[in-house]
Chains A and B, each alone.
Chain A
Amino acid sequence: QLVLTQSPSASASLGASVKLTCTLSSGHSSSAIAWHQQQPEKGPRYLMKVNSDGSHRKGDGIPDRFSGSSSGAERYLTISSLQSEDEADYYCQTWGNDIRVFGGGTKLTVL
């Protein structure tokens, strides 16, 4: 079964860096994922696609502060030089031939 696991919350200080993790279920460690950001009271925004080899391709207008990487079944989103507007929910997504799956989301608090 295709499942994505995310920690419910994370926090980091203004100007610091944070690394969010999305873990693919057993048997799916070679799958790509996508990261989406949802700021309070707004719709989701696509950030990037992260492949199993760590390569990533960002969406339009996504700042260089956002980057992606991989290790085994884990996919990461790193945000550097944290800004107040980065406080948001972050969701990972993956897909199969006939299914799409979202992780439960990580609520990022910028201190």
Chain B
Amino acid sequence: EVQLVESGGGLVQPGRSLRLSCTASGFTFGVCAMSWVRQAPGKGLEWVGFIRHKAYGGTSEYAASVKGRFSISRDDSKSIAYLQMSSLKTEDTAVYYCSREESGNSDYWGQGTLVTVSS
């Protein structure tokens, strides 16, 4: 059974950093791209970024709203994807979901972790 579990959310002050983790199980993590998607309170889904698997260079792409502030990495030996968030703004407040990708689309989702950016 495919499982994705996000962790690391919480309350953080504007301008600070936070790292989220997505721990995967039930599939061969190393051959899958992984995405991060967020949902601000009462809003729709917003793509944050994704990381390709190693066979495609393991490189990442980001939405314009987070480019230069957020970074995605992966540890295939631990089946974990990370979202490093820096210079956080109040508008980054959201539930953050990780998802497994299959040829571009998300096909499995985690339960999400809430990040609140507030002073």
Could you tell me which A residues sit within 8 Å of B by CB distance?
32-34, 36, 38, 43-46, 49, 59, 89, 91, 93-96, 98-105
A-B contact count (CB 8 A): 61
Q: Which of A43, A93, A103 is the one whose CB lies under 8 Å from B110?
A: A43
Could you tell me which B residues sit within 8 Å of A by CB distance?
35, 37, 44-47, 50, 61, 95, 97, 99, 102, 104-112
For the complex formed, measure the closest distance between the CB of A23 and the CB atoms of chain B, giving whole angstroms: 16
**Cross-chain contact A34 with B112 (CB below 8 angstroms):** no
A10 to B108, CA, bound (A): 25
**Cross-chain contact A100 with B104 (CB below 8 angstroms):** yes
Closest B residue to A47 using CB positions: B107
A100 to B36, CA, bound (A): 10
**Cross-chain contact B47 with A43 (CB below 8 angstroms):** no
- 10 additional A-B pairs beyond A38-B45, A49-B105, A91-B45, beta carbons within 8 Å, are A46-B105, A46-B106, A49-B102, A91-B44, A95-B104, A95-B105, A98-B61, A99-B47, A100-B47, A102-B46
Q: Which of B47, B50, B102, B104 is the one whose CB lies under 8 Å from A102?
A: B47
List A contacts of B47 (CB < 8 A). Answer: 99-102
Instruction: Say whether chain A's binding surface is mostly helix, strand, loop, or mixed.
Output: strand
**Cross-chain contact A59 with B107 (CB below 8 angstroms):** yes
Q: List 24 A-B contacts (CB under 8 A).
A: A33-B105, A34-B105, A36-B45, A43-B111, A43-B112, A44-B37, A44-B106, A44-B109, A46-B106, A46-B108, A59-B107, A89-B44, A93-B105, A94-B104, A95-B104, A95-B105, A96-B104, A98-B61, A99-B47, A100-B104, A102-B44, A102-B45, A102-B46, A103-B44
